[in-house]
Amino acid sequence: MATFVAVGRADEVGEGEAKAFDANGTPVAVARVDGVLYAFSDVCTHRRCNLAAGGELEGTEIVCECHGSSFSIVTGEATSPPATEPIATYPVREVDGELQVEV
């Protein structure tokens, strides 16, 4: 059963930014777009590159720096090749300034 795990402080993720966290061994990224938090797998399904570290956030899509694959951070859908498999997305919330991701 999935549970919410504290991963960091909400103020660590600025508007229009994505940051990588470890959620009990699961690499997740949290992004803030238009004040809304999104949590998603920090690993590209194409070549396993990290998305938050060098990727580019473009609205609600993250573009992998390795080969240019992009993903919706809302649905996880792969929106441009070479990746064809989606990334996982996770419920995320802010509680008393703490980021919590359900994994």
Q: Where are the domains of the chain?
A: 15-95
Q: What is the pTM of this model?
A: 0.95
Answer for the pair 71, 62: CB distance below 8 angstroms, yes or no. yes
- How high is the pLDDT of residue 2? 81
Q: 15-95 domain in CATH 2.102.10.10?
A: yes
pLDDT 10s per residue in the chain (103 long)?
Answer: 789 999 999 999 999 999 999 999 999 999 999 999 999 999 999 999 999 998 999 999 999 999 999 999 999 999 999 999 999 999 999 999 999 999 9
- How high is the pLDDT of residue 8? 97
Alpha carbon distances (Å) from 21 to 67, 73, 78, 80, 89: 22, 15, 21, 25, 14
